[in-house]
């Protein structure tokens, strides 16, 4: 019996958690242009707006925000305002945010930021602290980052009044502090948020909307074939990589998942080649592992079950499907510019599960 060679590839693909700055930068692809646009906008007074970055579920938004500081100049500081607790008590929140910022800035930039000033009003304390940073404008450009901002209205222990107080603070930052900029991010656009919460528009009326896009076919192919410099060349041949780029539509999560499955399969089988049969097995595994994600999509877009399924089967759409609805689904990466399903792998999954309860069953976490 022939012994198989002992093959163990390090798996560089990261489908299960956001990328982190300490990881190999090569795995982070296709976002340099967006990073440049994001950071150039605040540096000119005429562009002093709230920046809103939108990307759908599993779009790589958090990975992008995590990796963004490494793409920027040394004098641009990112301060994370996103709460790391399920609710917000203002005095604890500001104390935590400031201490985290001081630790991160000291570690990355070797700068010592001031502590939070004493004040019986936590919002005033936060504002005074930010004012101190603003006066360091000759040496620093500061971006305040608030991820998943759509969740804010429900997080404040003090209810709506506390939420509006926080919005008032953000408004002062945008209008009064020329060296501090605000970056909000969400899977929703600000326009969509305003439909359910007008306060966003009342307090932050001037904003610039930016979007995460699906990765280009070339970027997707290159990511699969050479995720990091040490990855074996031609392990994933060009034709297979191109076919995966098409199947996934350039969706970052699905690309990472496909790459992960390929490496795990090869390690499991102790082989350094991919046969035509292997490709079929790998695709089936990806479909199975992507099921919770696809279920989340179908739960989120319940109103579009019928047209999505009819498009998957290349049937005529029999329900009302307006141009506005189509634009909405394009923004959320479900339709392409030809009003076809943007992700063929989702189409394959829909057809496979059309006669089961998988479409509407809640995903297990």
CATH number at residue 160: 3.40.50.300
- Tell me: do 297 and 207 sit in the same domain: no
- Tell me: do 201 and 315 sit in the same domain: no
- Tell me: do 207 and 295 sit in the same domain: no
The boundaries of the domain holding residue 321 are 291-352
Cβ–Cβ < 8 Å for 109, 79:
no
Domain end, chosen from 180, 211, 242, is at 211
The pLDDT of residue 365 is 42
The pLDDT of residue 66 is 87
- Tell me: do 111 and 207 sit in the same domain: yes
- Residue 340: phi, psi to the nearest 5? -110, 160
Q: What is the mean pLDDT of each run of 10 residues along the chain (365 residues)?
A: 66 92 82 79 64 93 87 76 90 94 85 91 94 80 89 92 94 89 91 89 89 96 95 94 98 98 96 95 98 94 92 91 93 94 97 72 50
For residue 345, give Cα distances in angstroms to 55, 258, 283, 363. Answer: 19, 11, 9, 18
d(C-alpha 178, C-alpha 174), whole Å: 7
Our count of domains for the chain comes to 2
Cβ–Cβ < 8 Å for 99, 165:
no
The pLDDT of residue 55 is 94
The pLDDT of residue 137 is 66
The pLDDT of residue 26 is 80
- Of 214, 130, 228, 135, the closest CA to residue 172 belongs to 130
């Amino acid at each position: 019996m022939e012994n198989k060679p002992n093959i163990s590839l390090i798996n560089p693909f990261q489908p299960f958690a956001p990328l982190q700055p300490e990881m190999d930068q090569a795995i982070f692809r296709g976002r340099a242009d967006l990073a440049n646009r994001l950071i150039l906008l605040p540096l000119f007074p005429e562009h002093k707006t709230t920046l809103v970055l939108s990307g759908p579920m599993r779009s790589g938004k958090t990975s992008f925000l995590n990796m963004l500081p490494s793409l920027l100049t040394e004098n641009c500081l990112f301060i994370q305002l996103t709460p790391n607790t399920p609710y917000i008590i203002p005095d604890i929140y500001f104390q935590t945010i400031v201490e985290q910022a001081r630790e991160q800035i000291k570690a990355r930039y070797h700068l010592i930021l001031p502590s939070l000033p004493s004040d019986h009003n936590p919002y005033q304390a936060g504002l005074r602290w930010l004012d101190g940073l603003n006066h360091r404008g000759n040496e620093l450009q500061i971006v305040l980052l608030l991820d998943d901002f759509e969740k804010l209205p429900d997080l404040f222990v003090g209810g709506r009044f506390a939420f509006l107080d926080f919005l008032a603070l953000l408004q002062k930052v945008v209008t009064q502090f020329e060296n501090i900029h605000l970056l909000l991010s969400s899977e929703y656009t600000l326009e969509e948020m305003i439909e359910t919460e007008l306060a966003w528009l009342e307090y932050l009326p001037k904003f610039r909307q930016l979007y995460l896009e699906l990765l280009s076919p070339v970027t997707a192919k290159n990511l699969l074939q050479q995720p990091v410099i040490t990855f074996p060349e031609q392990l994933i041949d060009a034709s297979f990589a191109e076919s995966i780029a098409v199947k996934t539509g350039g969706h970052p999560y699905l690309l990472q998942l496909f790459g992960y499955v390929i490496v795990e399969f090869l390690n499991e089988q102790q082989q350094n080649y991919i046969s035509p049969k292997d490709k079929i097995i790998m695709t089936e595994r990806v479909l199975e592992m992507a099921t919770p994600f696809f279920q989340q999509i179908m739960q989120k877009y319940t109103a579009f079950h019928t047209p999505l399924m009819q498009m998957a089967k290349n049937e005529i759409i029999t329900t009302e499907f307006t141009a506005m609805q189509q634009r909405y689904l394009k923004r959320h990466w479900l339709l392409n510019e030809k009003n076809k399903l943007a992700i063929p792998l989702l189409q394959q999954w829909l057809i496979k599960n059309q006669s089961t309860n998988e479409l509407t069953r809640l995903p297990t976490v």
